[in-house]
Amino acid sequence: MNKWVVKEFMADHNHPLVEQKNVQFLRSHRVIKNADKAQLNAMRGVGMGTSQIMDYMVQQSGGYKNVGFTKKDLYNHVDADRRVHLRDGDAEGALAYLCGKSEMDPSFYYKYNVDEDNRLANLFWADSTSKLDYSYFGDVLAFDTTYQTNAYKKPLVILVGINHHHQTIVFGCALLVDESVSTYTWVLETFLDAMNNKKPLSVITDGDKAMRKAIKRIFPDSCTVEEFECAWNDMLEMFNLHGHKWVTDIYAKRSRWAEAYLRGHFFAGMKNTQRCESMNAYLNRFLKTRLKLFEFVKHFDRALSRIRHNKAKAEFETHHSSAVLTTKLYALEKYAGTVFTRQCFLKFRDGMKNAELFFPVSTENHGGYRVHTLTKFRSPDKIWKLVFHVPT
């Protein structure tokens, strides 16, 4: 029972034959070979999109008819491969990846917390290179929030600084559940824990109120300057600005902009969050908006590798090439080229050019004018006198 018996075979086709140019669309003739899969995985690993990979493979094989599969086949394979990686859960996959990194890198640090439904809320991580960079260059910390960097639209915070090549470096990264004071407080507390409780001298951010409150809570140090207060009150009296709303608001924020309050603080040349914004723009080249969490952390590592390669290149240029000397202060400039990194040397050389070759020796006041006595580098026996008439 339930058996079929062939009684007659007819060799003629019961449908029109497909033209040779359309054979490429037959399911029986379409297959993604193992070599193609390996190449696909390698290209996806460096961030190439599926459509771009298809175009490359078509060109490589000499046309669509020779590639052996369609773009839909390629997309189906990618989706199936992602489902395999996600079968244990996306968040679990991301945490497993970070756990694997910690096994290979003993100084690797990652921490997370979960919400009331036991779902991943906040995630922070920093590898040994980031921790080492912070130990050397952590006097100034800058961070900002960026969006649209993953499939869940979780806010991304990248904590950055500047190294001795004037390059932006990454100290740590966090994916957040929201932008509340408590969340930012968690980020800063976790960051300090990762960095052995070393606090920065200066913190630069975009001015977000929740972020400012968290900074004040974790980094409470502040100061007052009597001279600034006196000058401010004089200005209010002179221009009758008492009660002016904008003046009152900007005064309340004086500790974040007034030079008197910032004097003595080191900012490594940063005055705003432009470095953060540039870093976010750079990372967007590696991070797509639909990336799942486990994909995100992998692609973030790839971006870090590129950043650190640039640092290695700057180190090579500093130690294995000679600075070009352009000023007349040859001996001083040559010595500076041996003790500074190349970027620091260029900034120092600009300062030398601005200072020119003359040095002030003395200044005499004569009523309506002043006489400045100057000498010249390597010509101590010669002097120049500059007369400056004081405007009345």
Beta-bridged to residue 158, according to DSSP, are: 144, 173
Spatial separation of the C-alpha atoms in residues 65 and 58, rounded to whole Å = 8
Compute the C-alpha angle 33/36/41, nearest 5°. Answer: 125
> CA distances (Å), 354 to each of 72, 188, 338, in order?
63, 41, 21
Backbone angles phi, psi at 149, to 5 degrees: -105, 5
pLDDT tens for each residue of the chain, 392 residues long: 688 888 888 887 777 776 666 666 666 667 777 877 777 777 776 667 778 888 888 888 887 777 778 788 877 777 776 665 544 467 877 888 888 888 889 899 999 988 887 788 899 999 999 999 999 998 888 887 765 555 567 888 889 888 888 888 899 999 888 888 999 999 999 999 999 999 887 787 775 778 888 888 888 767 445 567 778 888 888 888 888 888 888 888 776 666 666 655 555 555 555 655 666 666 666 555 567 787 788 888 888 888 888 878 888 888 888 788 877 777 888 888 888 888 888 888 877 776 556 778 888 888 888 898 888 766 778 888 888 887 76
For the entire predicted model, the pTM comes to: 0.59
Question: How does DSSP classify residue 176?
Answer: -
pLDDT reported for residue 123: 92
Amino acid 329 reads L
Non-local CB neighbours of 338 within 8 Å, separated by 6+ positions: none
Contact between residue 195 and residue 132 where contact means Cβ atoms under 8 Å apart: no
pLDDT reported for residue 46: 66
Contact between residue 166 and residue 348 where contact means Cβ atoms under 8 Å apart: no
Q: Where do the structural domains in the chain lie, given as residue ranges?
A: 20-85, 90-225+263-314, 330-389
Beta-bridged to residue 161, according to DSSP, are: 169
**For residue 185, what are its two tokens?**
């407080």
